[in-house]
Structure 1
């Protein structure tokens, strides 16, 4: 009887081994299929993410190109509509008939032409200053921002103040111009849309990064709003900010204070003094 049980158990062992092998094989195949499908899903997700990033880059590039084109058109309009007529008028006073006039009329014509030429020079100087503010060029970012905020406070429309804590060395001139343009764009947005009563800017360094923070007590946006606007066809000014900061490998963050009393905008820029950056208007 014992021999029969042993024989019976021995005959069942190959069956158990067979089904165990089949089970392991099915499990292995299932695992391989799962890994393949998972990898395909990851690859598909990465491709979608890459496509979204490419679309966003395209939108930022288009915004930057549009900004430059608008600047060129504005400068062309200023020169054509303002400088052109002034110079044409000066030419009338200095025409070939000037030699036939009496001395008093000649002096008056020359004086009038000089006044018009002086006005034209001032106009061109103003256009030049809008492209590169002389305070920024000669004294740096801190002086230019202080000058900007003093003008805002002087207008009586808003209480504007700023404080630079760690500005002992100037950045590359192109970097300072881009940062100043970003600050200008942010301040203009606050002036136009926020209905704020105050705006305060601070600057400091932390490690190898430069931080600029803007606080105001008006209507503002959060990071979610900024990301949404960046992906839409509106918010050109914000896209210009993003495209400019990208040249500096910088970032920008929008948030509302925990107290819910004011909004804060933080600009984070690596300090790369020696790196040349293409200037953007």
Structure 2
């Protein structure tokens, strides 16, 4: 006689449930650990990125401070080296002994002093113009940029041209000055380093963005070069550009045309409300 041992179905089901529960628990623990490690990794990355941004802020701030200090030193040097001697010379002609001189000598001294004072006034006016070009102040960014490019083209060293397509509403005066200084810095770099045969600037507006684009056919840089120079201890002019752009919440892009025949620099700014 054969005896068969009966199996308990509920025992098998319990084992399956136990294994399934343990599997789900392991998966859940694994998922929780993955999320924890991932969050830590993201936190470390964010801290690293924040530190890099802080370092970049310091570099741009130092560049801005250095630019302002250089401009102050240049202004002080111009006044000390040029205006100072002129006024001192005029004072010599108008000394206290002048009243004891004969009339012809007095007239000659007054005439000489007046000439020197006129030269000093012109010098101070030139310094003032370098701080705020009169064309920019009186007629706006378009006229100032066109005047700059006409002078470059008039020198015969390079074919320079500029065209504003959509500048019916002027930027705010302080913004115009910053943008003009950026254009000056870019143009100066191109004149000094690119060996270009032409330089051309265009302006237009798309939506709520204001654009200036400079094209030239000489040696240039692309965005990766600009980013590297901006983070290094060299390229002060480019850092000055970055510092000024931060003030006007603008961006700049360096690229080479798809034809590989010229370089293009694009300045992008938020469009202002019409300035009256």
Compute the TM-score of the two structures, normalised by the length of structure 2.
Answer: 0.96
Corresponding residue for residue 168 of structure 2: 168
Pair 1:248-2:248 in alignment: yes
Corresponding residue for residue 145 of structure 2: 145
- For the residue of structure 1 that corresponds to 2:220, the secondary structure is coil
Corresponding residue for residue 261 of structure 1: 261
Q: How does 1:132-211 map to 2 (within 5 A)?
A: 132-211=132-211
Corresponding residue for residue 99 of structure 2: 99
- Greater Cα offset, 250-259 or 265-274: 265-274
Cα distance change, pair 10–199 in 1 and its aligned pair in 2 (3 A)? same
Corresponding residue for residue 38 of structure 2: 38
Distance 1:2 1:64 in 2: 97
Distance 1:189 1:236 in 2: 11
Distance 2:264 2:13 in 1: 74
Unaligned runs of 5+ in 1: 276-281
Distance 1:209 1:16 in 2: 64
Deviations 1:52-88 (A, max 9, x none): 1111111111101100000000000000000000000
Shift of 1:49: 0.7
Q: Is the 8 A contact 2:208 2:271 kept in 1?
A: yes
Distance 1:271 1:47 in 2: 33
Corresponding residue for residue 231 of structure 1: 231
Pair 1:72-2:72 in alignment: yes
Q: Is the 8 A contact 2:211 2:266 kept in 1?
A: yes
Alignment: residue pair count: 274
Distance 2:16 2:202 in 1: 76
Corresponding residue for residue 278 of structure 1: none
Q: RMSD in angstroms over aligned alpha carbons?
A: 1.5
- Greater Cα offset, 13-22 or 71-80: 13-22
Pair 1:123-2:101 in alignment: no
Shift of 1:15: 2.1
Distance 2:3 2:131 in 1: 104
Shift of 1:4: 3.8
Shift of 1:3: 7.6
Unaligned runs of 5+ in 2: none
Distance 1:105 1:225 in 2: 65
Distance 2:83 2:131 in 1: 17
